[in-house]
Amino acid sequence: MKKNIVDLQGKLNALLHSYRDSFVEGAVADYIPALASVEPDFAGIAVATIDGKTVGAGDYQHAFSIQSISKIFGLVMAMNRLGDSLWQRVRMEPSGQPFNSIIQLEWEKGIPRNPVINAGALLVADVLTSHYSASKLAFLGFVRKLANNEDIRVDLDVYQSEFTHGNRNAALAYLMKSFGNIEAEIPDVLSHYFTQCSIAMSCEQLAQSLLFLANKGIDPLTKQVICSPKDAHRVNAILSTSGMYDQSGEFAFSVGLPAKSGVGGGLIAIVPNYGVICTWSPPLNSFGNSVVGMKLVEGIAEELGLSIY
Ligand code: DON
């Protein structure tokens, strides 16, 4: 692999510039009204490496709504808390369905296909709500520790907007509860889930906070053990097969990295033993993935030869 950080800055600037014309493609998420007002032409990219360097271009220090990227943090917390019994309540298979689909959940008796579709993330939110006395604070504390930044906040406008327009997530949670796969009260589970989705972070902060997944579970900057090497492997495997929802196959085909998108327009890709790429551009395609973000990650992965396959 050609993984030289030298001139990475020039490559990121050039890539961002080359996709300027694509910024009009796709549409900003509007099913959460607070996200609909975000300027569509923000764009940033950051690459953080396990040797402690971070390089960025464009709006890489501008905080945005991390949305489904938060599912990674929740999953790691739940794995640490529950151990292998987590996998009796949620599976590790691609769903082949949109991220907020409900149809499969009834056929499969309230067991979500994986922890990064909404049903699976709500299940994880239930685990956290049930096992922490103050799960929202614990979650924020975990993210702040990983990002080494106490200023990371929840965007309360986004939180309110999600709660007001959260009927589909509520339906997923109630359906799972009807099968006995949710322990806590549904409003508490939803409140936890919407809180974690509403956290605002920049590309730089997200890339740095996920470095442990590129480094076998150890935060390379603080040397803290965040999860076991086995669990880091498992999270990366789930991100490879399901992180881009029903576009995960195409992403593996064209890029070849574990990745996760969010409807705020963020996208992270883990490069094992190297670092983390994070991009932000709000307009989404029909799968809920950032149009420009996918092009940027594909471009930098190709230029640096980063595919894991
Ligand atoms: O629950 C939702 O629908 C949003 N809070 C998160 C969805 C999301 O980010 C999907 N990612 N592309």
Neighbour tally for 275: CB within 10 Å: 28
Q: Is 293's C-beta closer than 6 angstroms to any atom of ligand 1?
A: no
Q: Could you tell me where the beta strands, DSSP code E, fall in the chain?
A: 44-49, 54-58, 64-65, 153-154, 199-201, 259-261, 266-271, 275-280
pLDDT tens-place string over residues 199-232: 999 999 999 999 999 999 999 999 999 999 999 9
Query: What pLDDT shows up at residue 154?
Result: 98
Q: Both tokens of residue 242? A: 């399901």
Averaged pLDDT, 258-270: 98
d(CA 12, CA 224): 29
Give this complex's ipTM.
0.98
Q: Is 220's C-beta closer than 6 angstroms to any atom of ligand 1?
A: no
Q: Both tokens of residue 285? A: 């395609």
Q: Is 268's C-beta closer than 6 angstroms to any atom of ligand 1?
A: no
68 a catalytic residue: yes
DSSP string covering 160-181 = HHHHHT-HHHHHHHHHHHHTT-
> Is 98 a residue whose pLDDT tops 80?
yes
Q: Is 197's C-beta closer than 6 angstroms to any atom of ligand 1?
A: yes
Q: For residue 255, report the phi and psi dihedrals to the nearest 5 degrees.
A: -120, -55
Query: What pLDDT shows up at residue 303?
Result: 93
Domains of the chain: 8-62+202-304 (3.40.710.10), 68-197 (3.40.710.10)
pLDDT tens-place string over residues 146-166: 999 999 999 999 999 999 999
Neighbour tally for 160: CB within 10 Å: 14
Alpha helices in 148-268 (DSSP H): 156-164, 167-178, 186-197, 203-209, 211-214, 229-242, 248-254
Strands across the sheet containing 199-201: 64-65, 199-201, 153-154
Query: What pLDDT shows up at residue 1?
Result: 45
**Predicted model pTM:** 0.96
Query: What pLDDT shows up at residue 4?
Result: 56
Q: 9: CA distance to ligand 1 center in Å?
A: 31
Q: 223: CA distance to ligand 1 center in Å?
A: 31
Q: Quick check: 300 and 12 in contact, CB under 8 A?
A: yes
Place of tokens 């699976």: 120
> Which of 65, 118, 199 has most ligand 1 atoms within 8 Å of its beta carbon, as the pocket-test mutant?
118
Of the pLDDT bands very low, low, confident and very high (cuts 50, 70, 90), residue 2 is very low
Nearest CA to ligand 1 atom 7: 68
Max Cα separation, the chain?
55
